[in-house]
Amino acid sequence: MTNMTCVAGGNDDFQLVTHLTVTGSQFEIGRVLTEEARRLGWSPRAADPAVNRARMSWFERNWPQHHARLDGAAAALGLDPDQDDLALDGWNRVPEGSACSGLWCPPSASADGHGRVGRNYDFFVSTASEIRGRQPRPDELPMGARPYVITTVPDDGLASTVITMDDLDGCMDGMNEAGLTVMLLLADVENAAPPAHTAPQVGLGSTQLPRFLLDTCETAAQAKQALLAAKQYDHGLLLHYLVADAHGQAFVWERGRDGSEHAVEFGDGPLCVTNHLLHRHPDPTDLPADTTPSLGTYGRLRTLYERSKGVTLSGLDLRDLLRAVRPDEDPGAPFRTLWTTVFDTADRTLATRFYLGDGRDYSGELVFPASAR
């Protein structure tokens, strides 16, 4: 069963937000998502056959849900699922300079005992061509203008709801029916540069990683073990990931440029994350001053930490704190918070406001269940 509705914005607003719900087998979910991606202009990319065979084998062993969805993609495209020269999933792309803020408030620091994760998804309001220094194509929309909320309810597996900007087989953040929440943020903003190449590799691409955890894990402990065992690649643009569960556990997953892996935790208190590597700056009270390349990452984390340290936060308090670190509507600034989401791990819900344009404020808060069962 498939249902698609417009839930926020319109053609005259910056964003027009679609909520797509798909119920059925993983094969059917893959077929529907591929058909929607094709409608948006996506097509499969040529791939190195040896690499693609290895990719499919890795998915089959480690992420069977995605492997089954790729069989559905092949059916939607009228292709042989064993064909090796085309990659049937999307490539993962986060252009230079995105900047986001996130905060985990555990049950012990929450006014009602609900664990919550809040996030601002800050991104360009430009087209992909403009980001690359070119003139926009006729009728080319800004990259973040058509986000999707996607709820998948598989016959055999964890249901989830995710928010994605332009990648229908990955996501920027989401929650599954077990209450596991995952979100991605740029990790090393001061050294960010456009990826040198974007060919798919074996393992998990940047925006596939949150979807992989939501498909395969129910707790933060399971997610940590899955990440330690999984091949990952990012094309040189480092991201990190805030992972939290319904049992009050959370960590930030980071990979250094030297290939090192880090699961950063912060005891029982709130865990703040912006756009610098936490394992390099573990003390939130001892951060460098911001510079132009840092895009305010240190100041935003100071604000989050100082206003959450040692206090009890309500859901409204968390929303106010996210608003305090939201970029101003400065005509000269390239970023806006395209959406703000508060994930309630107890209620298993996502409450989101979407950016409609300067001077138009944000949409009313929309509440999505992690599962439509």
Residue 323: the pLDDT is 97
DSSP letter at 113 equals S
314-350 burial, b if ≥16 CB within 10 A, otherwise e?
Answer: ebebbbebbeebbbeeeeeebbbbbbbbbbbbebbbb
Q: Measuring CA to CA, which residue among 307, 308, 286 is closest to residue 298? A: 286
Residue 236: the pLDDT is 75
DSSP symbol at 244: E
Q: For 60-90, write each residue's pLDDT tens digit.
A: 999 999 999 999 999 999 999 888 999 988 7
Sheet strands side by side (includes 16-24): 2-9, 16-24, 148-154, 160-164, 173-176, 181-186, 239-244, 250-255, 261-264
In order of start, what are the domains of the chain with their CATH numbers?
2-367 (3.60.60.10)
* Amino acid letter for position 87: A
What is the structure's pLDDT at 132? 75
Q: Chunked in runs of 10, what are the mean pLDDT values of the chain (373 residues)?
A: 95 96 97 92 90 96 97 94 88 58 96 97 86 82 92 97 92 97 94 75 94 98 98 88 97 92 89 96 95 94 96 97 94 90 98 96 96 81
